[in-house]
Amino acid sequence: MTSVPNQNGQSRRGPALPKWLKGTIFGLGSILATMLGLLFVTFIIGRVMPLDPVLAVVGERATQSTYNEVYHQLGLDKPLLVQFLYYLRDVIHGDFGTSLLTSHPVIQDIARVFPATIELATLGTIIGVVVGVPLGVIAAARRGSWIDQIARVVALVGYSMPIFWLGLVGLLVFYGILGWVGGPGRVSVFYDGMVPPVTGMILVDAALAGDWDVFRDALSHIILPASLLGYYSLAYISRMTRSFMLEQLSAEYVTTARVKGMSERAVIWRHAFGNIGVQLITVVALSYANLLEGSVLTEIIFSWPGIGQYITNALLSADMSAVLGGTIVVGLVFVVLNVFSDLLYRFFDPRAK
């Protein structure tokens, strides 16, 4: 409501903004505030880290005059707030700087490596959903049974076991000893570069090109790291699914359905599971976002050329432009997925509107 004076000098109520417009303005404001905070935090971290970006450019044997010149060119002689405003201006225009490792614009490097991470995280999320959701539903329906105990142990191990250890053991057993899967990397050396990059995702590009030999080889390389990420994902998804289902199965409408003679299968899957679908959307979206930002160790172990490995290599080389650019992109994706899940929640659940 807004108050405006009338002809008699008295205030009167102006037209109120629609609720959907208020919600949109509030949502956009929250997103902008979150991204601004992310930019500021990553910028400050990049400045306070004990890495000298000037030495990364000129080398340790450069003269003091060369060092001072590059120091001035990078704008490090300006106040920190001014540096941040310049950086904010560049980011708004899509300029994340130039990578010291590749000598390419950071945005181009991210566009090149990020599809590999998307491919790996997407397949891992699919595995987590396909296995985790039924496991959680069955565990809740048979609470206290041996299936429920197995599901809880699986979730506990998935939370507790270090993923880098599982990766090393998986490579040793399934690649080194049994030879069931491909080794590190996205494809074998023989097939490298045989498929023209269209989407940047090797499985999709091989399918589009109709090169099924490359497709099978790429699948053998991605299946192990994707399964590890999928295990991490299904541990979270199965646990949340079980919790949601237990809450629904104890509700009065489930008791009523059972009293009316409805089959247990229909009660579980049609009524109880139907009421947790909206909640699962948020859980799956958060799990997907966590895999996108948390696959760093997996990419390093399996030499997967994704954004996690890119940021790690940049950090080890004091390439702060690449580190900050990659961090911002991952944070932006996380925010977008959260907003998307919230919109889906509001769309499918009228009570949230």
Could you read off the pLDDT of 66-89 as tens digits, one per residue?
Answer: 777 777 777 777 777 888 888 888
When pLDDT is cut at 50, 70 and 90, the band that residue 94 belongs to is: confident
CA atoms of 244 and 132, how far apart (whole Å) = 13
When pLDDT is cut at 50, 70 and 90, the band that residue 41 belongs to is: confident
Q: Which residue ranges make up each domain of the chain?
A: 106-352
Asked if residue 126 has pLDDT above 90, the reply is yes
What contacts 244, CB < 8 A, 6 or more positions away? Answer: 136, 140, 276, 279, 280
Alpha helices by DSSP H, listed for the chain, are 19-48, 53-58, 64-73, 80-92, 106-141, 146-160, 163-170, 202-209, 212-249, 252-259, 264-266, 277-294, 296-301, 307-316, 320-348
Q: What pLDDT does 286 receive?
A: 84
The CATH architecture one would assign to domain 106-352 is Orthogonal Bundle (1.10)
Of the ranges 81-85, 175-179, 349-353, which one carries the lowest mean pLDDT score? 349-353
Residue 46 near residue 83 (C-beta atoms within 8 A)? no
Asked if residue 244 has pLDDT above 80, the reply is yes
pTM of the model: 0.80
